[in-house]
Amino acid sequence: MTFLMKQHDLRPYITGQILAPHPTLANQTVPLDLTNATGTSIIVRKRGSTVVKFKKTLTITNATQGEWEYSWDLGDTDETGTFEFEIEIMWGTEPQTVPVAGYETFTINDDIDSP
């Protein structure tokens, strides 16, 4: 998933769906049911950096379908560039991070009237 937006914008929200391997069919996926998750977060860093830019709570929009949304806060989109993110799901005290391989990305492009 590659998501594009302009610097300082707070919309559109970033959305996604978490998929898991199908329990019996190889190379197939199904939505991960988040009904019993006790917390979900998005963790973001600029590509090439080891410093986390932010870790914030996601909104689950459809738990049984593994669908989520993150609405930007002021400061989240102040820097241009490509950013990597992962989703952390808490099952009680047990974390699960997706994607397992690599990261999802979004890019913030400079807007014309940026200082």
Q: What is the DSSP letter of 59?
A: E
Q: Per-residue pLDDT for 23 more than 80?
A: no
Tens-place pLDDT, residues 45-96: 999 999 999 999 999 999 999 999 999 999 999 999 999 999 999 999 999 9
Model confidence at 115, in pLDDT bands (50, 70, 90)? low
Higher pLDDT, 7 or 29: 7
Statement: residue 2 has pLDDT above 80: no
pLDDT at 112: 87
Classify domain 2-109 at the CATH topology level: Immunoglobulin-like (2.60.40)
The structural domains of the chain, with segments of one domain joined by +, span: 2-109
E strands, the chain, where?
2-6, 14-17, 19-21, 29-31, 39-46, 52-57, 59-62, 67-70, 81-91, 94-98, 104-109
